[in-house]
């Protein structure tokens, strides 16, 4: 598989929660903190604030670059929760994490009211995984909240159903529409990150096909966040392995996503995937010695993954 074309410096950088993310320099690790009792991956912490703090500290030590807090499960057929319940799960952890970890905090929600309260409590990024029921588009008010509060926004593709005229073309077009809507709401172009939404409105085969063409989504001109961790497409390929046994499968998909241009990978197993990302970056972006380690301020070579001539 050829590596995706280089676009050195094309996407610039973005400051999230006081930390600078230089797109194309290396792959960033987003650690998942599921504050739900019904996570598909079996790692939900519910309302156990102390357990969430311990996991956040662990993720920081293992190499996470930011933490994503979610108070509602987005697995298929999950029961929706009220704004009040989602805030009851998220806000205590957000408040306790202030000063406990130095990482930027993201709130995983599709509700504008939750996003607003979370940002006011310290979240520095809004990660919108899915729109309201019956629509592929995010709540338009959520974009207004991101614009008003000046925080970046992740826009995920979440097609309702799995019927497409042409999978890749449809995903690109729908994401482009969502980006334009966010910009019209006042979100700056440089504050928008896109997520192809693996597993959301896509069969395992469709998710794999979309991943195979991930590099073509660079045409959108936005940083790419990819969330393959423990997803059903991995279980489908690996003979039905349950989510807690999909570590190696996740590692394979993370490495391939990096080779095809992912800027952020959203994962459950931070320590293992940080090591995978470092090695994948060494191949895809080039590695010139210890100075390229993420622990060094000037780590990595700029530019998206470049083609390799043999």
Residue 20 appears among annotated catalytic residues? no
Residue 189 appears among annotated catalytic residues? no
Q: Which of 111, 230, 246, 266 is catalytic?
A: 266
Q: Residue holding tokens 């008010």?
A: 141
Going by C-alpha positions, the residue among 267, 263, 242 that lies closest to residue 16 is 263
The answer to whether residues 258 and 305 touch, using CB atoms and an 8 Å cutoff, is yes
Residue 47 CB neighbour total at 10 angstroms:
16
At residue 156, φ and ψ (nearest 5 deg) are -100, 145
At residue 253, φ and ψ (nearest 5 deg) are -70, -40
Which tokens hold the place of 114?
Answer: 């939750």
Q: Give the span between the Cα atoms of 101 and 95, in whole angstroms.
A: 11
The answer to whether residues 282 and 274 touch, using CB atoms and an 8 Å cutoff, is no
At residue 272, φ and ψ (nearest 5 deg) are -65, -45
Q: Alpha-carbon dihedral of residues 235, 238, 241, 247, nearest 10 degrees? A: -80
Q: Which of 111, 231, 246, 285 is catalytic?
A: 231
Enumerate the active-site residues: 231, 266
């Amino acid at each position: 598989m050829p590596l995706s074309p280089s676009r050195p410096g094309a996407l610039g950088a973005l400051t999230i929660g006081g930390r600078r993310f230089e797109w194309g320099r290396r792959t960033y690790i987003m650690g998942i903190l599921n504050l739900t009792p019904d996570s598909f991956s079996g790692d939900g912490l519910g309302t156990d604030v102390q357990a969430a703090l311990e996991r956040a500290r662990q993720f920081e030590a293992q190499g996470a670059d930011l933490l994503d807090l979610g108070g509602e499960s987005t697995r298929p057929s999950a029961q929706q929760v009220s704004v009040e319940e989602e805030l009851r799960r998220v806000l205590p952890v957000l408040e306790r994490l202030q000063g406990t970890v130095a990482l930027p905090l993201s709130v995983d929600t599709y509700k504008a009211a939750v996003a607003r309260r979370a940002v006011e409590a310290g979240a520095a990024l809004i990660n919108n995984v899915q729109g309201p029921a019956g629509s592929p588009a995010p709540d338009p008010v959520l974009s207004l909240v991101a614009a008003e509060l000046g925080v970046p926004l992740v826009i995920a593709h979440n097609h309702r159903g799995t019927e497409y005229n042409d999978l890749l073309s449809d995903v690109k077009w729908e994401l482009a529409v969502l980006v334009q809507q966010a910009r019209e709401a006042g979100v700056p172009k440089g504050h928008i990150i896109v997520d192809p939404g693996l597993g959301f409105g896509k069969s395992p085969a469709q998710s794999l096909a979309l991943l195979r063409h991930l590099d073509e989504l660079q045409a959108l001109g936005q940083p790419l966040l990819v969330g393959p961790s423990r997803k059903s497409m991995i279980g489908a390929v690996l003979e039905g392995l349950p989510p807690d046994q999909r570590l190696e499968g996740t590692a394979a998909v993370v490495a391939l996503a990096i080779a095809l241009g992912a800027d952020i990978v959203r994962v459950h197993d931070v320590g293992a995937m940080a090591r995978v990302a470092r090695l994948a970056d060494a191949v895809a972006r080039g590695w010139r010695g210890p100075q390229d380690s993420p622990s060094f301020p000037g780590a990595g070579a700029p530019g998206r993954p470049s083609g390799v001539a043999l």
